[in-house]
Amino acid sequence: MTKIITIAQNSAQPLTVSRLGYGTMRLTGPEIWGEPANRTEALQILRTAVESGVNFLDTADYYGEDVTNRLIREALHPYPADLVICTKVGATRRPDKSWVPFNRPENLRTSIDNNLRTLQQEQIQLVHLRVLGHGQVSLEEQLGAMFEMQREGKILHVGLSNVTREELEAGLKLGEIATVENMYGYGQRTTMQLPYGANPGGEEVLDLCEEHGMPLIPFFSLLNSLPKTSTRITEMARKHNASEAQINLAWLLHKSPWILPIPGTSSLAHLRENLKAVDICLSPDDMEYLG
């Protein structure tokens, strides 16, 4: 199992990162809104992750709102030279905590400028366009705005999030797509309906990612992905003296060298547990048994 992965490998400025990143969403308050319950621990989680070799962080200005970006800046700025901070645009939050599209070209520009300001960066290394609100603004128009900001130097690489296979195929025809961020985990592989809409699964696009050398970045890889009825992952956890969450992450790491998991947590103890998943070696027989 490889422990590093390269983003935009064929570009003039590829990014090489460790294959276990950290997703910051869980650092916010309840319902991904407001400040963390324990701000000191949240900051320590970010510092510990980076000190432990994590150099890929996933965030969004609509987490909180702006909460995770501000925590990242407070904990880590000035940033280590090898740290890649990935953010998302295309959505925003209302006061009732609902998730709504924010994907017109002028909205996307506002979001990018806000991310640059709150993260205190001159350029964002990787930005995922989250596809939300199908049909209101065309994918071509949204990606056109992203590529324009890329040419301006505000964005280094452009990725897509929450995309169907058809949307990814369409996006690849419009320009260089560096990464895909979809829901994916051992027990949640295909489209899942959530309160704010459908979340396409990673299994539906994994072969395209492999074909084009695009890392697949699974979100909610633990939250919705541990099966409630299957005993196989429990048995595998017992065999490797590991937790079920660790086996879930190890399964992702062994499933394809193009998968870059970003498990999130608001617990320092859970972070340390998750990081140990890279040391679990699942044999071909283990993987066949897990399915």
User: How many angstroms separate the CA atoms of 47 and 35, rounded?
Assistant: 18
Residues 6 or more apart whose Cβ sits within 8 Å of residue 173:
none
Give the pair of three-digit tokens for residue 106: 């002028």
Give the pair of three-digit tokens for residue 93: 């939050």
**DSSP state letters, 86-115:** EEEEEEEE-TT--EEEE-SHHHHHHHHHHH
Q: Cα dihedral angle (241, 242, 248, 254), rounded to 10 degrees?
A: -60
Which residue from 182, 175, 203, 217 is spatially nearest to 58, judged by alpha carbons? 217
Kindly provide the b/e burial profile for residues 169-184, where b requires at least 16 CB atoms within 10 angstroms of the residue's own CB. Answer: ebbeeeebbbbbbbbb
Residue that is written with structure tokens 């030279």 in the block: 81
Q: Which of 62, 63, 184, 186 is catalytic?
A: 63
Establish whether 63 is a catalytic residue. yes
Count of other CB atoms within 10 angstroms of residue 99: 18
Residues 6 or more apart whose Cβ sits within 8 Å of residue 144:
105, 174
Residues 6 or more apart whose Cβ sits within 8 Å of residue 37:
29, 266
Give the pair of three-digit tokens for residue 114: 């806000």
Sign of CA dihedral 110, 118, 158, 169: negative
Kindly list the catalytic residues.
Answer: 63
